[in-house]
Chain A
Amino acid sequence: MKKVGVYICHCGTNIGGTVDCHRIAEELGQEVGEVVICRDYKYMCSEPGQKLIRDDIRELGLDHVVEASCSPKMHEPTFRNACSAAGMNPYLFEMVNIREHCSWVTEDPEAATQKAKHLIRAAIARVVHQTPLKGSTKSVNPTAMVVGGGIAGITAALKIANAGYKVYLVEKEEIIGGKMAQFDKTFPTLDCSGCILTPKTSEVGRHPNIEILTKSELLEVKGFVGNFTARVLQKPRYVSIEKCTGCGDCQKVCPVEISSPFELGMTTRHPISRPFPQAIPNTYSIWRAGMPPCQAACPAGVNVQGYMTLTGAGKYGEALALVRERMPFASVCGRICARPCEDACKRGQVDAPSAICYTKRFLGDYEKEQGIDWNPPRKDPREEKVAVVGAGPGGLSAAYFLALEGYQVTVFEKLPVLGGMLAVGIPDYRLSKEVLDAEIRMVTDLGVTVKTGTAFGRDVTFESLEQDGYKAVFLATGLHVSRGLNVEGEDLEGVTGGIEFLRKWALDGDVTVGSSVVVIGGGNVAVDVARTAVRLGAKKVELVCLESREQMPAWEREILEAVEEGVVIHNSWGPKRFLESNGHVSAVELKRCTSVFDESGAFNPSYDEAEVLELPCDSVLVAIGQSSERLLLDQLGLEIAPGGRISVDPDTLATSRPGVFAGGDGVLGPATFVQAVAHGRQAARSIHSYIEYGGLRPIEAKEKPVPPEISEAERRRTPPISRHQMPMLEPEVRKNSFAPVELGFSEEMAQKEGQRCIECGICCQCGECVRACGPQAIDLSERERVRELEVGAIVVATGIDIFDASRYQEYGYGRYPDVITNLQFERLCNASGPTQGKVLRPSDGTVPQNVVFVQCVGSRDRAKGYEYCSKVCCMITAKQLSIFKHHNPNGQPYVFYIDNRAGGKGYEEFLRRAIEEEGAQYIRGRVAKIYQEGGRLVVRGENSLVGAPVEVEADLVVLATGLTPQKDYTSVSRALNLATDKYGFFMELHPKLGPVETALTGIYVAGAAQGPKDIPESVAQGGAAAGEVLTLFSVGQVEIEPTVARLEERLCTGCRTCVELCAYSAISFDDSRKTASINDALCQGCGTCAAACPVAAIRVQHFTPDEIYAQIEGILA
């Protein structure tokens, strides 16, 4: 028989006042067989109480002890230690909560007594099943990570580092210092905040034991106390901390200015800058939000924001060079591009997208007009020869980039002209031969050899090229055959393929069309064909397509222009057959197309054969699609994907034959010009790595794009400016001529369009700074990376955010420039701030006379803000009005307050001084409304002491915004599994006794992340957290709780149910034994596996099923 001792605590009257402890003790002593001794006592947690337990264990030889008192969260360790001290294993002890769960919440004493008895009975039933457990120890990795570089984090980091341990200081922003760096002075001493902070930050900066990770965020933490692995996402600074000298040359050339978050929007900054001269790290960095949507949308990845910004700044050469990095044919592209960039442009969400394409066209044309060459320099010539097959946009751009790299490039082209579809598929009125030839000449001028009239497969083959010493081949053969319709009469005279028609016109200039032409097809080629037919003198041109007007794949502007030129469009019709007259086509019979795509979205038209339309005509041009030459494909001996496309690796464009790459339409199917160019560049890079490194190196890491939706901040900096319209030829004129329809932008128009860019990526990566930087410290190709840090302890000091005052709409924050937050006021006072330390109104820069401070904005307000008191605002306001008075002794501060809270050393005296010596008028009451009247602000509130409404005229209103949890607190709490309160402040282990510890051993919380705090408190907590960390490190090892899952191998069937369930990957499958296997060190004891194990082979120690079942039985007995 087990011997159980039961102890029931009165907790003064906390328990004893409701629960009849004595009666329970007597009854249980008699009723339960295992109970050897059952005592009740006033305060069991007191030393005499604990002694009772110790003595009984020794004298009565107790096996198990049950203690009924307060929550185990409070005193479980106390009693466990008492048991230990008497030589009993602490896991043979069980605690019952009869205070929080019983006496405090139950009104009826009898019911409370009964409930308490049941709870205790359950614990007795449970405790006899408990077995002695012993934890294991693990050594501690004496490296700390401090998350958050504010004053609390700085303090913790310095103290740990000074004790000789390595510290990683992880900071989200580009500098450390946190909110304190933004303050001007501190209360109640009016010390200069910067003067007391910067010595600390620079100490951190040069401390050999501290490694600062700026622009870094915690992603995930695994492991356990003493042995954590943290994954930290480090965003690029783009400026090397080692190389940067802080000279500031970069800042001077930066074309972008953006509202400064550090200055709370009261001034602007360049993306490359540093917030203030003493900032640590004391180097510049670049603020880049990510890849802008225009660039992300561009298949060729042209840096649109960069060249737009440069154009806006009038730096056309630099802008064009930037275009050429990825798009050699600026003029061509500017004329015929599909413009996915403009669809993505965020300005489109405000008014209309920037005219990106036309601006690019201007740049290309400008170069030619001015007779300058802004191509990048060609690298030293190399010996290797590369063959490019096909002189379309893909082939030519591959040749361009390969030639720049120094290769000996030969382009083989079957047609007699260069340019592929650009030359023979796009009519002159869209792209004139002169423009095209000029850009092609730019390629050939780089030393590219051209062999026209040379067909691949006929005149050259892979083998012959190999023999001729070509190291690599790029196939860009395109699609040059019109697809057929497969309807009756298709082979009649007068029915021609659209592509053949355009090609013949382009090459021979000798095509005739009838007077009445029907064009079949709804794509751009069809429209081009139709418009060409108009220009060739057709009287009537009708375009027939399956799609409805909205569904037509041709570009809207092309269709509009065609209609302007007299083309008639018949939508939703499909050809049924061609009618004949003397062997020549005489009419097209059409049937109604009811839908083009089937339910799965595949092209699968359905018709209503009953509805028929007959169009008389004498020519039909069929432009319903392109295909490649089957013959050519068959000869290649390459792997061919379905649909007659060459199959390639999408990243490298490598085909199944080594050294052979393919791209453009032949790979993609009918695609756009810009896609072909993208492929050309991609192929050039792949060929270069193939030849240079003998392998295919991974393509450059892509930058993450910014969100496609326009943000509030972006909207604020985007006043509507209307888009410039492209000057065009009149329809009547252009109808009869092949002269270009679009006339091009003027310099001024292009520059203005450049200025319309809203800088979605913040930094535009134009490269101006790179060119300006003497020490070559800037690398724009830096990408974010994830670092894995092995640490033994973590201090979370992520600080606070400021309440968003615009949530009080009636205060007009954001609408009235002279309503500012108190943090903005700090910046106004600060010598390195936007006004160089002069307190001036943001609206007109005048010195304010009446300044009204509004307290508790967002604090102590259940309706709109937070319920809690932000604790520091009363003192901040007292401080700020004092500073204001020092700046402007004649000024009059008013304060609308709820209560004045000045608990703290010297605080009350300071506040008193502000009231009595500075003459501030304190009005008790909430502000109802702030409005503008005749150029002055009027603050209307209530004087609750008088009980009357009051209105104060103000030049400046300062809102004492409350402190809130960081907006992204969840990312930290999830990474660490750290509990927060309902607001988002991190939960400490105990509100009184464990203020910096958390529920997770080895993770500590310091500063305002735990709740609103002033500087001294944050510093104290930082120190306290450091103390905890140092205690851990100096002990050097940690006890691992024995309450982990244990596997009974005898029972395990190896069904693998548990393996995938474990969130800590602590369970693996042992193939040799055919059972699961649990890693103690990783197991956290959550018990998910035990609950799921279908054969109950896993049990969590101290929470075994027999213990729980006994407890259930006892609780219901």
Chain B
Amino acid sequence: MTQFEPKIVAFLCNWCSYVAADAAGVARLVQRPNVRVIRVFCSGMVDPGYVLKAFASGADAVLIAGCHPGDCHYISGNIKAMRRSFLLHKLLTDLGVEKERFRLEWIAASEGPRYATVVNEMTEQIRKLGPFRPASGSKPERSELTCRKEG
């Protein structure tokens, strides 16, 4: 039995995190092959629907990476991404997606090493967590909710 290889989709901002990923490549910083990159113009462009789509299509985790607050190429797109992340986390939790499976990171163009670290760290974390099984339903703790039988 080979070990579980998580599939992670990363949405990277064209102006910073994508450049950081390039920089990590130029510096030959070895990364786990589990993260697959989709280039977007801005982290603020990432519709939460993309995240759900990724999970629905079989991703085990999703990473959105954008510019640090204040450094957005589009002034404040990353702030919108930040605002969305909290509510999206809540929705995902309700739908049975563990918190660790979705991350929003700020990775500047100069932070190639950090990009590699995030990739490797996240891969290992998800590897431990195991594959994501959709449609398992959320689990409002059963002990908490007395589920009565009814017609």
Do A and B form a real pair? yes
- Cβ B30 vs Cβ A107 within 8 A: yes
Interface centre among B40, B46, B74 (most CB of A within 10 A): B74
Q: Which residues in A have their C-beta under 8 angstroms from that of B40?
A: 1087, 1103, 1108
B143 touches A (CB below 8 Å): no
The CA-CA distance from A557 to B47 in the complex, in Å, is 66
How distant is the Cα of A378 from the Cα of B101 in the complex, in angstroms? 80
Whether the pair A1109, B53 counts as a contact (CB closer than 8 A) is yes
Rounded to whole Å, the gap between the CB of B82 and the closest CB of chain A is: 12
Query: Taking the nearest CB of chain B, how far is it from the CB of A796, in angstroms?
Result: 16
Q: Among the listed stretches B92-100, B104-112, B134-142, which one makes contact with chain A, having 4 or more residues with CB under 8 Å of it?
A: B104-112
Q: Tell whether, in the assembled complex, residue B37 and residue A1112 are in contact, meaning their CB atoms are under 8 Å apart.
A: no
Does B47 lie within 8 Å of A974, measured CB to CB?
no
Q: Indicate whether B145 reaches chain A with its CB closer than 8 angstroms.
A: no
Confirm or deny: A115 has a beta carbon within 8 angstroms of a beta carbon on chain B: yes
Task: Specify which chain A residues have a CB less than 8 angstroms from the CB of B45 in the assembled complex.
Answer: 1086-1088, 1090-1091, 1100, 1103
- Interface residue? A1043 (CB, 8 A): yes
The CA-CA distance from A404 to B38 in the complex, in Å, is 75
Is A550's CB within 8 Å of the partner chain B?
Answer: no
Question: Contact string, A70-102, partner B, CB cutoff 8 A, digits 1/0?
Answer: 011100000000000000000000000101111
**Shortest beta-carbon distance, A253 to chain B, in Å?**
46
A769 within 8 Å of B (CB atoms):
no
CB A502 to nearest CB in B, in angstroms, measures 59
Q: Which of B78-130 contact A (CB under 8 A)?
A: 80, 84, 108-111, 116
| Interfacial chain B residues near A999, Cβ < 8 Å | 15, 73
Which residues of A have CB within 8 Å of B39?
72, 97
When the two chains form their complex, are residues B108 and A982 in contact, meaning their CB atoms are under 8 A apart?
yes
B26 contacts partner chain A, Cβ-Cβ < 8 Å = yes
A979 at the interface (CB under 8 A from B): yes
> Which chain B residues in 45-73 approach chain A with CB under 8 Å?
45-50, 53-54, 57-59, 67, 70-73
Q: How far is the CB of A44 from chain B (nearest CB, A)?
A: 17
A104 near B26: Cβ-Cβ < 8 Å: yes
Say yes or no: A119 contacts B80, CB within 8 Å: no
Q: Is A176 an interface residue (CB 8 A)?
A: no
Using A108-B33, A1112-B9 as known contacts, say yes or no to A1091 and B22 having CB atoms under 8 A apart.
Answer: no
In whole angstroms, what is the CA distance A384 to B42 when docked?
66
Q: A987 to chain B: which residues have CB within 8 Å? A: 109
How many Å lie between the Cα of A876 and that of B81 in the bound state?
A: 48
Q: CA separation between A72 and B110, bound complex, in Å?
A: 18
Complex alpha-carbon distance, A1085 and B108, angstroms: 20
In the complex, are the beta carbons of A105 and B31 less than 8 A apart? Answer: yes
Q: Assuming A71-B25, A1043-B41, is B80 touching A1116 (CB within 8 A)? A: no
Is the CB–CB distance between A115 and B33 below 8 Å? yes
Q: Which of B26, B29, B77 contacts A1088 (CB 8 A)?
A: B77
B28 within 8 A of A: yes
Contact B44 A1086 (CB under 8 A): yes
B33 A114 Cβ-Cβ under 8 A? yes
Does A1108 lie within 8 Å of B50, measured CB to CB? yes
Q: Given A73-B19, A105-B30, A1112-B54, do A1091 and B46 touch, yes or no (CB 8 Å)?
A: yes
Q: Does A118 contact B (CB under 8 A)?
A: yes
Chain B minimum-CB-distance residue to A1092:
B80
Given the complex of chains A and B, what is the CA–CA distance between A349 and B56 in angstroms?
A: 63
Which of A100, A102, A1063 makes the CB contact (< 8 A) with B26?
A100
- Specify which of A108, A118, A1063, A1116 is in contact with B77 (CB 8 Å cutoff): A1063
Q: When each residue 1098-1109 of chain A gets 1 if its CB lies under 8 Å from chain B and 0 otherwise, what string results?
A: 001001010011
Q: Which residue of A lies closest to B80 (CB)?
A: A1088
Instruction: Let me know if A732 is at the binding interface, CB within 8 A.
Output: no
Q: Which A residue sits closest to B74, measured CB to CB?
A: A1086
Interface mask (A954-972 → B, CB under 8 Å = 1, otherwise 0): 0000000000000000100
Q: Given A105-B24, A105-B29, A982-B110: A1087 and B44 within 8 A (CB)?
A: yes
Cross-interface CB contact of A1115 among B21, B30, B38, B67, cutoff 8 Å: B38
Contact of A111 with B33 in the complex, beta carbons under 8 Å: yes
A802 to B132, CA, bound (A): 53
| Chain B CB within 8 A of A449 CB | no
The smallest beta-carbon distance between A219 and chain B, in angstroms, is 14
Interchain CB contact under 8 A, A101 and B111? no
Chain A residue nearest in CB terms to B110: A982
Contact of A977 with B by CB under 8 A: yes
Q: Is the CB of B22 within 8 A of A981?
A: no
How close is B6's CB to chain A, nearest CB, in angstroms?
11
**Which of A970, A1113, A1116 has the largest number of chain B CB atoms within 10 A?**
A1116
Whether the Cβ atoms of A977 and B36 lie closer than 8 Å is: no
Chain B residues with CB under 8 A of A1043: 41
Q: Which of A100, A981, A1063, A1109 contacts B110 (CB 8 A)?
A: A981
Do the beta carbons of B111 and A1063 come within 8 Å of each other? no
Contacts of B53 in A (CB 8 A): 1108-1109, 1112-1113
* A911 to B93 Cα, complex, angstroms: 66
Do B59 and A1116 touch (CB < 8 A)? Answer: yes
A1063/B76 contact (C-beta < 8 A), A71-B22, A115-B33, A979-B71 known: yes
The reply to whether A105 and B28 contact each other, CB–CB distance below 8 Å, is: yes
Interface 1/0s, chain A 714-747, versus B by CB < 8 A? 0000000000000000000000000000000000
A870 within 8 Å of B by Cβ?
Answer: no
Asked if A106 CB lies within 8 Å of chain B CBs, one says: yes
The answer to whether A979 and B80 have CB atoms under 8 Å apart is no
Q: How far is the CA of A115 from the CA of B6 in the complex (A)?
A: 12
Of residues A973, A1100, A1115, which shows the largest number of chain B Cβ atoms within 10 Å of its Cβ? Answer: A1115
Contact B37 A1105 (CB under 8 A): no
Question: Across the two chains, which residue of chain B brings its CB closest to A1113?
Answer: B57
The answer to whether B25 and A104 touch across the interface, beta carbons within 8 angstroms, is yes
A1091 touches B75 (CB 8 A): no
Q: Which of A757-771 contact B (CB under 8 A)?
A: none
Q: Footprint of A on B, CB under 8 Å?
A: 7, 9, 15-16, 18-19, 21-22, 24-26, 28-31, 33, 36-42, 44-50, 53-54, 57-59, 67, 70-77, 80, 84, 108-111, 116
Given contacts A979-B16, A987-B109, A1087-B41, 6 further A-B contacts (CB under 8 A): A118-B36, A977-B72, A982-B111, A1086-B74, A1090-B45, A1108-B38
Listed A/B pairs (26) with beta-carbon separation below 8 Å = A73-B18, A99-B25, A101-B21, A102-B33, A105-B28, A105-B30, A115-B36, A119-B36, A979-B15, A979-B108, A982-B111, A987-B109, A999-B73, A1043-B41, A1064-B74, A1086-B41, A1086-B45, A1088-B74, A1088-B80, A1091-B80, A1092-B80, A1105-B47, A1105-B50, A1112-B54, A1115-B36, A1116-B7
The 4 closest A-B pairs by CB, nearest first: A100-B25, A1087-B45, A1086-B74, A1063-B75
Q: Which residues of A contact B (CB under 8 A)?
A: 71-73, 97, 99-102, 104-108, 111-112, 114-115, 118-119, 122, 970, 973-974, 977, 979, 981-982, 987, 999, 1043, 1061, 1063-1064, 1084-1088, 1090-1092, 1100, 1103, 1105, 1108-1109, 1111-1113, 1115-1116
